[in-house]
Amino acid sequence: MPKALLLENIHPFAAESLRKHGFEVITMKGALPQDELIASLEGVDLLGIRSKTNVTHTVLNACPQLSAVGCFCIGTNQVDLAAAAEQGVAVFNAPYSNTRSVVELVVCDIICLMRRIPAHTHHLRHGLWDKSASGSHEVRGKTLGIVGYGNIGSQLSVLAEALGMRVIFYDLEEKLALGNAHRASSLEELLLQSDAVTIHVDGRKSNTGFFGEDQFAHMKEGAIFINLSRGFVADLDALKRHLDSGHLSGAAVDVFPVEPRKSGDAFESDLADEDNIILTPHIGGSTLEAQESIGHFVAQRLQDYWEKGSTTLSVNMPQLTLGPNTGAVRIAHLHQNFPGVLARLNQVLGEENINVTAQSLATEGELGYVVTDLSNAPSRETLKALHDVNGTVEVRVI
């Protein structure tokens, strides 16, 4: 029986679905440090994680049986994708499943900060009745600056316009503006105009410290700042200085440079004593609807890879979408993208008089991936010969 390990409190739907497909499933609530992760992966075929578990080169080398990793979240920067590809480990994620949940929280943060709800709540909790319109604004007519106009940024753009906001955005790539949104020619242009700035960039290493002292200094007086993207993107010390000085009127932060591994762990932040601040524990995509959708989506990708060899929406493998096996057995062959590999593979099969009933090939970058349906099962000698084909990374019998 194949085995799957699901960490970080992944939605129960994923475990239920994998069990229905014949997997022994082990679930854990928190993330695991490297040594514990390696020990827990003994005999495991599929690994499911969220954002706190780091699947490093060391982990992958120590776990040769591992076949695929499912990231039940948007990002995959917690996985060494190149090392995974070198080991023949397919990696999948859910790039769209929690978009709406993140967008709704951003809208909520904007309205609450503009109305100074955190500050009023803080005052009431400490016995102060502060019934005043001072510093409180409608969002209608205000300018929202969106840094990063991908799936989340573009959907936020539409909802913000529906609230009557003017939307400008900045992105390094050419993006189609939705509705009446306007593309800023530079980040500085966006910051100078925006009453609210929200960050939606990806987890690439080059974005570390992307938003720091200089960017905060260029923000409009009295503006608010929101980060629900990655914890390492924004300099929180610089943010605190601009809140303390009164330059910024409020902020919402959902992601932090260092976060606890599991719920219930202690957490401290220098921003906690700010007046008009919203601090949330990385819950941008944490709605029941989003987590169920992610559980369904990623579990399906893992099942299709295990049962059919399909690499649809894998982030580190050539893309093949496959139907049911048309022969007696199916073989997946991952290899370096060298000329002649496919010909040699078919030559090996022909030498044992095995007919090919169907075959699909895809190449991407340095990798090639071919899936072959065979009329009868190959011998051990033939499988060894397939492994010995020059450039072979992995041969998997499905």
Q: Which helix (H) or strand (E) holds 278?
A: strand 277-279
Rounded distance between C-alpha atoms, residue 223 and residue 244, angstroms: 13
List the structure tokens of 205.
Answer: 């290493």
Instruction: Give the integer Cα–Cα distance in Å for 283 and 3.
Output: 29
d(CA 356, CA 343): 13
Residue 81, SS3 per DSSP: helix
pLDDT reported for residue 67: 97
Nearest to 73 by CA among 32, 154, 14: 14
Kindly give the confidence (pLDDT) of every residue in the chain, 398 residues in length, as a single tens digit, with 9 standing for 90 and above.
899 999 999 999 999 999 999 999 999 988 999 999 999 999 999 999 998 999 999 999 999 999 999 999 988 989 999 999 999 999 999 988 899 999 999 999 999 999 999 999 999 999 999 999 999 999 999 999 999 999 999 999 999 999 999 999 999 999 999 999 999 999 999 999 999 999 999 888 889 999 999 999 999 999 999 999 999 999 999 999 999 999 999 999 999 999 988 888 999 999 999 999 999 999 999 999 999 999 999 999 999 999 999 999 999 999 999 999 988 899 999 999 999 999 999 999 999 999 999 999 999 999 999 999 999 999 999 999 999 999 999 999 99
- pLDDT at res. 8: 94
Domains detected in the chain: 1-98+287-317 (3.40.50.720), 100-279 (3.40.50.720), 318-398 (3.30.70.260)
Position 185: which residue type? S
What is the reported pLDDT for 56? Answer: 97
377 three-state secondary structure: coil
> What's the predicted TM-score (pTM) here?
0.83
Which single residue is written with the structure tokens 């070198």? 86
Of residues 116, 166, 200, 230, which has the active-site annotation? 230
Q: Which two tokens stand for residue 6?
A: 């699901």
Specify the DSSP class assigned to residue 375.
S
Contact 275, 251 (CB under 8 A): no
Catalytic member of 24, 104, 189, 259: 259
Rg (CA), the chain: 25
Three-state secondary structure string covering 192-218: HHCCEEEECCCCCHHHCCCECHHHHHH
Total residue count of the chain as it appears in this document: 398
- Which residue is catalytic, options 282, 301, 333, 344? 282
Q: What does the pLDDT read at residue 206?
A: 87
Region for 282 from its dihedrals, namely left if φ exceeds 0, alpha if ψ lies in -120 to 50, beta otherwise: left
Instruction: Give helix then strand counts, H and E, for the chain.
Output: 13, 16
The C-alpha angle 111, 223, 267, rounded to 5 degrees, equals: 70
pLDDT at 258: 92
Please give the Cα distance from 284 to 256 (Å, whole number): 12
SS3 label, residue 123? helix
Helix 288-308 to helix 12-20 angle (10° resolution) is 30
Which residues are paired to 6 by β-bridges? 27, 48
Say whether 259 is catalytic. Answer: yes
282 carries an active-site annotation: yes
